Structure 1
Amino acid sequence: MRESLGNWTKSGSPWIWLNAGAVAISVIMVIGLLALIAVRGLGHFWPASIMEADVRELNGNSFHLVGEKVETVSVPVEQIRAAGIEIDTDQELVDRHLIKIGNRDVHGTDFRWVLEDFIEEVRYPENLIAVERHEWGNFYGYLLALKEKDKTVAVQAAGENSIWPEFKKRVDRAVEIHDEIYQIEKHEIGRINYAIERLRLKERRLEIDGENTPENLAELNAERSVLNAEYEVLQQQLADLYTAANRDSFVARAMNGQEIEVSLSKVVRVYQPNRMDILDKMGFYSAKLWEFASDDPREANTEGGIFPAIFGTVMMVLLMSVLVTPFGVIAAVYLREYAKQGFTTRMIRIAVNNLAGVPSVVYGVFGLGFFIYFLGGNIDQLFFPEALPAPTFGTPGLMWASLTLALLTVPVVIVATEEGLARIPRSVREGSLALGATKAETLWRVVLPMASPAMMTGVILAVARAAGEVAPLMLVGVVKLAPSLPLDGNYPFIHLDQKFMHLGFHIYDVGFQSPNVEAARPLVYATALLLVIVIALLNFSAVAIRNHLREKYKSLEM
């Protein structure tokens, strides 16, 4: 028995099983973590039922409670009594519910903790409405009346739902008007303002160059007059739209019995979750998921979507990949194919490997000092003097963030490309040279194509690291909320000098800087899941390209 056990140990089987078990545990932990993030994040968008209940207070009185049950935790009874709350129970633990009561403009807070033993007569009336607003969060209550130009046009009797269809129709109209206003303000007026600013800078440049002749100034004034005329037309359209948007309002009763009037221009959507069946809830859930992925954030990033952060993350990673690949490949080719292998080359490789271990925030400090203050400041002096003292490239922006992350990840590309070059048989190079090709032609047409899968491996590793970095980006270009995307319809279309949003920084900002922690918590999970998905899609795309290249040049390796 002992001999067979020794033979089994010597065969290496225990280490194989140990490695397999470690891999299995790691996979289970990763899947469990992703499942936790998905449940906590994606569950936030499901339309929860609105409860109504009477809650007993310590003084014996009770108050009316309306809201969504968000979370339930078990708390030791001793802890409750230590806080000065008398509770009559023999159990060791008591449930405490986090209720989203909304109506922040009425109550001053969105959430409230309530003990299970103090809740009485829980019910779910079908007439309760939930109203998502552009500000002040959700509103929960009973719809009482509709108004048009301060005149009541419809009144709802107690216990009925008679004016709900008309309410929905007017809300849809208000949302359409809001979208038209957004289109004009964000895009059309934004385009005019951008063109007027370019004319101002052009006039300033003519003044600096001494070419501000009456003819040139007259040409600029003519263009400015055309833009001002367009602006006046759009302003009149906006005035009409704002008048139409503010026409309707509704009156509702909050849980404290107060009747409030809300303009429909402030409403995003309305729904009655207690009346919804499973199909209605699935449709609502899909719409909320699409809003999260495609809309701009609102309410201090605790509501709305995160499309600017998705766009900024993907654009920065793609730009970083375009920058890091040629530099990494050229450095690897020089070290492997041209440099004399000796002490200097070994020191360079040691330096490259050490660079991979430098903390990322150090790269951020370097990017701030060298790229932004030195390089960007000199670029402003040479090419954008008309904009000074306002900086153009002498301020954090997309280009400097991409360059900083390219510098951070270039060691990974160098090492991966060198390994790929080292695996190419020497006979392949000699055969190409024997057929009359020069060394440069051999490198370009034979060696580099065969090493391209290794290059893509380096790019994959670079993307995986750069997409999740946050510390250096806080110094070189990322912001809490960007007013516009780095890519738009205004010349030169790609604005590398603009600041941008990033999913990693968005998670940090919402999770640790938000004034409304309870509202922000589910969005932290949802954004984290989305960041994982974005990184996975970028990596899968690179892996697909690598596999294609590997199959294409497999015959050369044979």
Structure 2
Amino acid sequence: MRISWKQWSQSGAPWVWINAGAVAISLIMVLGLLGVIAVRGLGHFWPAAVMQADYLNEAGQLESLIGEPVSTELVPAARLRDAGVPLNTDKSEVSRTLLKTGNRDLFGGDFRWVISDHLQQVRYPSLLMTLERREWGNFYGVPRQLLEGDKPVASFTGTDSNPQNEQSWQLLQQHIERSLAIHHEIVQIEKVEIGAINAQIERLRLQQRSLQLQGEASPAALAEIDVERDQAQRAYQQLQDKLTRLYQQANRDTLVVEAANGKQLNIALDKIVRAYRPNAMHLGQKISFYASKLWEFLSAEPREANTEGGIYPAIFGTVMMVILMTLFVTPCGVIAAVYMREYARQGLLTRILRIAVNNLAGVPSIVYGVFGLGFFVYFLGGSIDQLFFRAALPSPTFGTPGLLWASLTLALLTLPVVIVATEEGLSRIPRSVREGSLALGATKWETLWRVVLPMASPAMMTGVILAVARAAGEVAPLMLVGVVKLAPSLPVDGNFPYVHLDQKFMHLGFHIYDVGFQSPNVEAARPLVYATALLLVIVIALLNFAAVSIRNHLREKYRALEI
């Protein structure tokens, strides 16, 4: 039987198809966006081939270029001619290539646009190498000599591989591994061992200052503090002597390299993070290199103004802040919802309070940041310093932005979400369940604690999921109450009290903003923006997945109570 258009439209089927199409389009757009972010971000860690070519520059002279081709685009030839660029073509559009030439200490920049048609004798010699340095970014060129002190121990000839070059390259890798081991030991001493001694000396200083403020600075007490301080100073001097020896060992080796313009440069191996020859690597080596770079991105600290290295401190700070925020907002939101639904008199005042809570969910996040700065940091934190940390004044302890105040600010920001979700869950519990519990002799509190709250727990977890999803991606309020561009130490370490809620921290969202818009080297930072954005999405998804798993478990556990 045929159905007319009028009957089909009146059946509601068109709206079903429209809604399904809208959902499909939205899903395709989201997946497409994530795909673009993943390709541009994760592709950054693949070892790109290094090109060498002769280039006819703007002065009409041939020069040698070495670098990684990054991207190619078509531009109007008239625009380039207007900019004074000579062109050897009559085409209306000219292809130009963005070349990552590195060697910022020699050329003043990492990237250069070149006219693709002006590149001549393009080649990919296997001896061309990439040096990742702790300063000045990548170096692209050819190794020439490896020196131990002033003594040459290895040399490289030509631009292609031969048995001598391969042996010299393996020796270079061994020396770099030695240098990295020494660097790791230096960092361990400076950050952990010396950091612990500095924390002990600061604790003794504050203890002495506290005794003086309380009028209890007796000679015996001060002498005891002096003895501990002298022991700490001796341990500090021993570590300094050890550091001096390690720095001397680290500065022993030097690599002589040759840049594209033929200029030779001496680079100390302790300034090199990694040396590799992408043109000589086979697929297995490239995959291994990719895995090591990806692990470095997840586990190492940033360097070079956050454009190189890893983002582990930002991952740690984001997760820890979200966990603390959840610990603060969940009990407060649940208690507020329980009071409004179960105990408060349902009158005008309660309705006004609900309207106020709903309106708080629409307040711009930066307003919460200003409130957190004024109330939590200056008022509450300043009061805590006056009461408990007078010995440290005028240096603030809690009277300055930090992890605690950032977590409380975001807890306040997400509190309306938890309240509304919890109250909706409480309202869906049948009245007969409460009455049945009371009829069996349970008190109102026992009914609430053993029956009502367990049945409403999935709704509570829904509120927590929404709170986590919003808080993890917030940036504006965090800029005022605790997030910084670079935090040299994590808020958790081996020094008492082990968890330092007063410390500033790094955050993935702010890291994206800083690298993308505040970086002095935008082109170098752009791939890290995509990679960090993808990681932030993954972190939020994992946090939400954990919360959803808990919610589903609670829903199955208390499903029998709903029957």
TM range (shorter): over 0.9
Aligned length: 558
Corresponding residue for residue 519 of structure 1? 524
Q: Could you tell me which of 167, 171, 174 is aligned with 1:166?
A: 171
Cross-structure match for 2:23: 23
Partner of 2:44, secondary structure, is: helix
Equivalent residue for 1:313? 318
Q: How does 1:213-224 map to 2 (within 5 A)?
A: 213-224=218-229
Q: Is the counterpart of residue 477 in structure 1 residue 482 in structure 2?
A: yes
Matches of residues 60-79 of structure 1 in structure 2 within 5 Å?
60-79=60-79
Output aligned runs, 1:169-180, within 5 Å.
Answer: 169-180=174-185
Shift of 1:236: 1.4
The residue number in structure 1 matching 2:41 is 41
Any unmatched runs of 5+ in structure 1?
Answer: none
**What is the root-mean-square deviation of aligned Cα atoms in Å?**
1.2
What secondary structure, in the 3-state scheme, does the structure 2 residue paired with 1:94 have?
strand
1:475-513 residue CA offsets vs partner (Å, 9 max, x unmatched): 000000012111111111110100000000000000010
TM-score, length-scaled by structure 1: 0.99
Match status 1:407 vs 2:415 = no
Displacement after TM superposition at 1:184 (Å): 0.5
Structure 2 CA distance for aligned equivalents of residues 302 and 14 of structure 1: 51
Aligned in 2, Cα 1:2/1:348: closer, same or farther, shift over 3 Å? Answer: farther
Q: Compute the displacement of 1:2 (Å).
A: 11
Deviation at 1:342, TM superposition (A): 1.2
Deviation at 1:11, TM superposition (A): 1.2
Q: What does 1:185-200 align with in structure 2 at a 5 Å threshold? A: 185-200=190-205
Is the partner of 1:163 in helix, strand or coil?
helix
Residue type matched to 1:85 in 2? V
Q: How many Å apart are 1:95 and its aligned residue?
A: 1.6
Looking at structure 1, the residues matched to 270 and 141 of structure 2 have their Cα atoms a distance apart, in angstroms, of 18
- In structure 1, what is the equivalent of residue 462 of structure 2? 457
Q: Offset at 1:104?
A: 0.8
How big is the shift at 1:82?
A: 2.5
2:246 corresponds to which residue? 241
- Counterpart of 2:542 in structure 1 is 537
Residue 152 of structure 1: CA displacement? Answer: 2.1
Deviation at 1:3, TM superposition (A): 7.5
Partner of 1:119: 119
Within 1, Cα distance between the matches of 2:404 and 2:223?
A: 36
Shift, 1:91, TM fit: 3.4
Q: Deviations over 1:442-464 (max 9, x none)?
A: 10111101100000000000000
State the alpha-carbon separation in 2 of the partners of residues 102 and 286 from structure 1.
Answer: 23
SS in 1 for 2:405: helix
Structure-2 change in CA distance of 1:204 and 1:11 (3 Å): same
The superposition leaves residues 116-157 of structure 1 with CA deviations (integer Å, 9 ceiling, x where unpaired) of: 111111000001111111111111111111111122222223
Q: Which moved more, 1:155-164 or 1:458-467?
A: 155-164
**What is the one-letter code of the residue matched to 2:113?**
W
- In structure 2, what residue type is equivalent to 1:313? T
2:394 counterpart of 1:389? yes
Alpha-carbon distance in structure 1 between the residues aligned to 2:474 and 2:557? 33
C-alpha distance in 2 between matches for 1:333 and 1:58: 74
Pairs within 5 Å for 1:495-510: 495-510=500-515
How far 1:10 sits from its partner (Å)? 1.3
**For the residues of structure 2 that align with 1:2 and 1:398, how far apart are their CA atoms?**
67
Q: 1:467 aligns to what SS in structure 2?
A: helix
Partners of 2:381 and 2:361 in 1: CA distance: 25
- Structure 2 unmatched runs, 5+: none
Secondary structure at the residue paired with 1:141?
A: strand
For residue 283 of structure 1, the aligned residue among 263, 278, 288 is 288
Q: Deviations over 1:248-303 (max 9, x none)?
A: 01101001110000100101011111000011000000000000000000000000
TM-score when normalising by structure 2: 0.98
Residue identity matched to 1:30: V
Distance 1:86 1:375 in 2: 65
Distance (Å, rounded) in 1 between the aligned partners of 2:85 and 2:492: 57
Measure the CA separation in 1 of the matches of 2:390 and 2:516: 40
Give the Cα–Cα distance (whole angstroms) in 2 for the partners of residues 198 and 173 of structure 1: 36
Q: Tell me how far apart the structure 2 counterparts of residues 13 and 245 of structure 1 sit (CA, whole Å).
A: 74
